Structure 1
Amino acid sequence: MGHVVRVSSEDGEPVVVPGGSVEVRFAAELAWADGHVRRTGPPDARERSWASVLRLPTAAGPVWLKVTTPRTRAEVGLYRLLVATAPDAVLVPLAHDEARGLLLLPDGGPTLADAPRPQLGPALAGALARYGRLQRAMAPRRAEMLALGVPDAAPEALDARCAEAVAVTGLPDGGSCRAAVAGWAARLADAPAADLVTVDHQDLHPGNVLASGRFYDWGDAVVAHPFASMLVGLGGLARTLGVEPDEPVVHTARDAYLDVFADLAPHAELVATCELACRAAVVARALTWQRAVGDAGPDHPLAGAARETLARWDDPSPFAAA
């Protein structure tokens, strides 16, 4: 018998709850997976409000069955577009079922979160450059992503998204937030890369970047100005290393990413646009939290994350909401 892992600790990290049969709880999903791989033992499961991930042992090593929720189901179709566009930059599913929201993924090996701290900055710098090239390749597929249900957080949609975020979080100073976001969105619409609205992973921390240079876990993805991805891409690096976002190691990673867009504008203008995009990205980030835990109830350990994130809209650091 396997074990079920639920999110119940105060910080939202998974903790094991003994008992419960994974085979019974996920019988239909496992039957689907068994049509694609041959298991050699019982599965384990990590169950969260936004998705459940089952580890399936096989003779060739573990594979991972991801069971999405209706709010994150677009991830399955998004993988299809990503693989068709940049197969060398993503973890390629072994199988997928878009209608049922199921993904069967190979084990991707270690992530950059496992890297020795002195190596993390350079490794992430290389990965972010690769990610920027992926974004440019995906920009022509904007309409396809939206048709799949990937949320729209492009500059021209930010005013509507901000109104939505203010409404669902009950932010007290929502009017001031909306006015600021409207100004940022207008500036972004005329900024470099405005015509390259593309996929924004939304959770691009080192744990979602494989040591092989590939990217996975696209369940939070939105369609946005490309530089919005750096809210978590750079903020997550600073947080992981325990440094401020203006430290040289973070700037080096930022510059490696922006070099992919060097044909669009001078470097200083790209830097300013990156900070602006990250500041505006607080809206999409808040709504990402809402999609993830909004239906989980007020007792969920992350129930306040959407409101807390949006409340950082006026923080002087563009990476405050990372």
Structure 2
Amino acid sequence: MEWLAEARAWVDEQLAAAGVERTGELTQPRVRAWGTVLRADTTRGPVWLKAPGPETAFEVPLYRLLATVVPSWVLDPIGVDAARGWVLLPDGGPTLRELVGEQGLSEALVTVLPQYAELQVGLMPHAEDLLAAGVVDMRPAVMPQRLDQALEATGRYVASSRDAEARELHAWVESRREEFAARCRELPDRVSLDHNDLHSNNILGAPPGPVRFYDWGDSVLAHPFSSMLVTLASLAGHLAVGPEHPLVRRPRDAYLEVFGDPVELLAELELACWIGKVARTLVWERALHSDPGEFARAPLETLGSLRMNSWLSPA
């Protein structure tokens, strides 16, 4: 109750500074292992206080950086308190999935993914700023070390689960360390922000109107194409189609066109997504650090999907 009272007072301070008045009670619609969200109605519509957990508190200063460098593609914070780990955001409206439905996702993403690519291009000169904000380094050169960290983290689950299948999967990944390092060296050194959970419920708005990319708590500094790991797997899953289906290929190629010839870049995208599974494993691990619950097996399943030489995998 003391924390909520403090949060309420801070929200009111930030709203007053912005010339806005709260008109409803502060409610807590979401509590997760990785953070909580509070909501309140105001004279300018709903606002949301996001309070990430310690493992993802970097999202708070990151919002300030994004609003400065790529303001067209993100929500503009009403208030930021990096010391407390709080960011107050305006309501971004319905998500892409809510607005177009599953059957409209592919066509919408043909327009939206190039916009996300432009955001990544805008952030490419700001790698050091992203690291200073607390974004974790998952660039190709450090990924062999990140694989070791992922194996250590998933090894704790394997040791406690007494699951023979989990032990075998973990051992298989361990045996591929050298192969993984070699493939990391093959990946061109493009670097930007990887949202790491970019699906249609983390995109606000829909074409032909403006869109905003939301929920940056899983993001890492990585090869930009690794973002498509979650995006394309989620799209294929919702549409129940394979990775080469035109409904998946068209938005994929529209994204790649921002960087060059999609035909020439496809192998790079597939490699970036394959390597990005290790980053996704560690993102799962940090989000679940304090309370794994029903997702306890998710990091190992994601790491074990390296067996699939494709982005189409658990993500």
Report the TM-score when normalising by structure 2: 0.88
State whether structure 2 residue 233 is matched by structure 1 residue 221: no
Are the equivalent residues in 2 in contact too, given 1:231–1:321 (CA < 8 A)? no
State whether structure 2 residue 29 is matched by structure 1 residue 28: no
1:65 aligned residue = 49
> Deviation of residue 240 (structure 1)?
2.1
Are the equivalent residues in 1 in contact too, given 2:96–2:200 (CA < 8 A)? yes
Instruction: Determine the C-alpha separation between the residues in 1 that align with 2:3 and 2:79.
Output: 21
1:248 aligned residue = 246
Q: Which amino acid aligns with 2:312?
A: F
Q: Percent identity?
A: 44
2:83 aligned residue = 99
> Once superposed, what is the RMSD of the aligned Cα atoms?
1.5
Instruction: Determine the C-alpha separation between the residues in 2 that align with 1:95 and 1:56.
Output: 14
> Deviation of residue 317 (structure 1)?
2.8
1:59 to 1:145, Cα distance in 2 relative to 1, 3 A: same
State whether structure 2 residue 36 is matched by structure 1 residue 43: no
1:99 to 1:177, Cα distance in 2 relative to 1, 3 A: farther
Report the TM-score when normalising by structure 1: 0.86
2:183 aligned residue = 184
* Number of equivalences: 290
Unaligned runs of 5+ in 2: 16-20, 156-169
> Deviation of residue 25 (structure 1)?
4.7
* Residue of 188, 194, 201 corresponding to 2:195: 201
Instruction: Determine the C-alpha separation between the residues in 2 that align with 1:121 and 1:319.
Output: 16
Are the equivalent residues in 1 in contact too, given 2:173–2:306 (CA < 8 A)? no
Instruction: Determine the C-alpha separation between the residues in 1 that align with 2:75 and 2:179.
Output: 37
Are the equivalent residues in 2 in contact too, given 1:177–1:313 (CA < 8 A)? no
Offset from partner CA, 1:248-277 (integer Å, 9 cap, x none): 011000011000001xxx432201110111
Instruction: Determine the C-alpha separation between the residues in 1 that align with 2:71 and 2:153.
Output: 37
Q: What does residue range 69-80 of structure 1 map to in structure 2 within 5 Å?
A: 69-80=53-64
1:319 aligned residue = 312
State whether structure 2 residue 143 is matched by structure 1 residue 164: no
1:174 to 1:316, Cα distance in 2 relative to 1, 3 A: closer
Q: Which amino acid aligns with 1:40?
A: T
Offset from partner CA, 1:56-110 (integer Å, 9 cap, x none): 1223221100011111011111111111111111111111111211110111011
1:288 aligned residue = 283
Secondary structure at the aligned position of 1:36 is classed as helix
Secondary structure at the aligned position of 1:279 is classed as helix
> Deviation of residue 184 (structure 1)?
2.0
2:160 aligned residue = none
Offset from partner CA, 1:133-164 (integer Å, 9 cap, x none): 11011011101111222111100010111100
* Residue of 118, 122, 141 corresponding to 2:107: 122
Offset from partner CA, 1:256-315 (integer Å, 9 cap, x none): 1000001xxx43220111011111110000000001012215xx1112211111111111
Q: What does residue range 80-159 of structure 1 map to in structure 2 within 5 Å?
A: 80-114=64-98, 115-159=100-144
Are the equivalent residues in 2 in contact too, given 1:279–1:319 (CA < 8 A)? no
> Deviation of residue 243 (structure 1)?
1.9
